[in-house]
């Protein structure tokens, strides 16, 4: 197969690029690729595919772009037979034991194997442990398809780096790390991604290097946040305002400005376990990585304890306590609630018999109920409460009228618990609130 002919067929739209997995990563990738190539957006979830066709899904994207590109949205895997360049962007969660759940990657690999023609290239973007692409995916592709690797098909790995909801660091503005089995396949993969990536391409020396680079990006953030979370717990006991300490410390040019908070979602709270799983396989028990995970996983209980302690010590809080949590998504200004640590906080309060409700104008309400049994209330349903716990820094929360909001409380001097530090302490206290922040 000649390099120029392969890419020329893609460019001339004789062949298609298929994106497998239509979530926060797959959708922008598909939209951008569709500006230059014929594309297929595939997902096994037919309901999601239908919603995408009707512009009814993923509110952080402008889905009207689908009307401007050459794209087929489908849950019918037979349509994939018309593609010869496949990009896998399915989720890679962990199970209840924090071991990698590879079912989506394996299923996607089998689907591609059943439908890819000879002379295909498959690029994995899903976050995995170092070695998975070559040790699991390639043998499976050979077994299921009957083809021979590096003769009938080639494989690459290019870790996704999308930050959902970020308007500055979008797909095209983030350097793209790519890797491949040989120069031949690398050049084709580079040509494809270069059409949509403005920030540039970085070639990793091997697929394992690219896999490892991705997983440590989130591990580094996880550990740094864990450090600040531990400092916040210490400073709380010392009656020192953590935010004031961090503001003073960051005046030094090389201080890393991480902030305390709940660490959930499908990346930072999950990816470290992929590397620790592989490390244990080789007889090494990671200490710092797992310690960071333990601290961050337990922050919900620390925050919950601080809230209960302060409310019980407040003589104005009488009878059964009523608390409203503001925000349930795993990060600000998106609807995704996967692995949200706010749910842990909710369950913690419920365990102590506290009347606890959640208000979130952005979160996917049906998903909250289906996955957690949580019914999200409306703003007008907030009344006669003892405390408001702001867990997520949604823009709509930052712009709330905190003066009129006081009418929703039982007390004249009610409590505001600010997990993300979204309010000015002096301003909030001047209104008449009692204020605590992490």
Report, as residue numbers or ranges, the catalytic residues.
267
3-state DSSP assignment of residue 400: coil
- HSE of 110, CA atoms in CB hemisphere, 13 A: 7
- What is the β-pairing status of strands 153-157 and 176-180? antiparallel
Order across the sheet with 434-437: list the strands. 355-359, 322-326, 387-390, 415-418, 434-437
Q: For residue 199, give the nearest of 162, 161, 173, 167 by alpha carbon.
A: 173
Q: For residue 436, give the nearest of 420, 58, 6, 369 by alpha carbon.
A: 420
Residues 44, 50, 55, 58: is their CA dihedral positive or negative? Answer: negative
3-state DSSP assignment of residue 180: strand
Cα distance between residue 34 and residue 360, in whole Å = 34
DSSP H helix total and E strand total for the chain: 17, 13
First to last CA, the chain: 59
Cα distance between residue 109 and residue 88, in whole Å = 8
Distant-in-sequence, close-in-space partners of 23: CB < 8 Å, separation ≥ 6: 58, 89, 91
Phi, psi (rounded to 5 degrees) for 83: -105, 160
Q: For residue 419, give the nearest of 397, 400, 396 by alpha carbon.
A: 397
Cα distance between residue 108 and residue 132, in whole Å = 14
Q: Which two tokens stand for residue 113?
A: 């194997």
């Amino acid at each position: 197969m000649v390099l120029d002919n392969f890419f020329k067929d893609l460019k001339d739209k004789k062949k298609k690029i298929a994106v497998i997995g239509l979530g926060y990563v797959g959708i922008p990738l598909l939209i951008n690729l569709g500006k230059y190539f014929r594309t297929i957006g595939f997902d096994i979830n037919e309901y999601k595919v239908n919603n995408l066709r009707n512009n009814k899904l993923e509110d952080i994207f402008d889905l009207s772009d689908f009307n401007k590109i050459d794209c087929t949205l489908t849950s019918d895997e037979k349509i994939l037979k018309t593609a010869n360049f496949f990009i896998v962007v399915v989720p890679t969660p962990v199970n209840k034991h924090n071991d990698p759940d590879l079912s989506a990657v394996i299923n996607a690999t089998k689907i591609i194997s059943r439908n890819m023609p000879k002379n295909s290239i498959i690029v994995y973007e899903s976050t995995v442990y170092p070695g998975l692409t070559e040790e699991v995916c390639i043998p499976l592709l050979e077994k299921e398809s009957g083809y021979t690797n590096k003769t009938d098909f080639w494989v690459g790995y290019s870790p996704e780096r999308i930050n959902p909801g970020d308007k500055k660091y979008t797909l095209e503005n983030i350097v793209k790390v790519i890797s491949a089995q040989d120069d031949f396949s690398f050049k084709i993969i580079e040509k494809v991604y270069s059409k949509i990536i403005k920030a540039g391409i970085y070639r990793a020396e091997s697929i394992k290097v690219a896999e490892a680079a991705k997983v440590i990006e989130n591990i580094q953030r996880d550990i740094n946040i864990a450090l600040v979370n531990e400092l916040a717990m210490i400073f709380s006991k010392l009656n020192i305002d953590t935010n004031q300490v961090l503001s003073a410390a960051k005046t030094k040019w090389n201080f890393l400005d991480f902030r305390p908070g709940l660490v959930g979602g499908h990346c930072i709270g999950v990816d470290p376990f992929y590397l620790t799983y592989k490390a244990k396989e080789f007889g090494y028990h990671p200490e710092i990585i797992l310690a960071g995970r333990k601290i961050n996983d337990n922050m919900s209980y620390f925050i919950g304890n601080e809230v209960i302690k302060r409310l019980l010590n407040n003589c104005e809080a009488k009878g059964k306590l009523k608390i409203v949590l503001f925000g349930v998504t795993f990060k600000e200004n998106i609807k995704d609630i996967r692995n949200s640590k706010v749910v842990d906080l909710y369950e913690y309060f419920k365990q102590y018999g506290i009347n606890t409700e959640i208000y979130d104008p952005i979160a996917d309400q049906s998903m909250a109920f289906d996955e957690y049994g949580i019914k999200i209330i409306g703003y007008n349903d907030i009344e006669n409460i003892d405390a408001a716990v702001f867990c997520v820094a949604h823009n709509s929360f930052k712009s709330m009228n905190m003066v009129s909001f006081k009418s929703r409380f039982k007390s004249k001097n009610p409590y505001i618990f600010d997990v993300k530090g979204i309010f000015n302490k002096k301003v909030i206290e001047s209104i008449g609130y009692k204020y605590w922040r992490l």
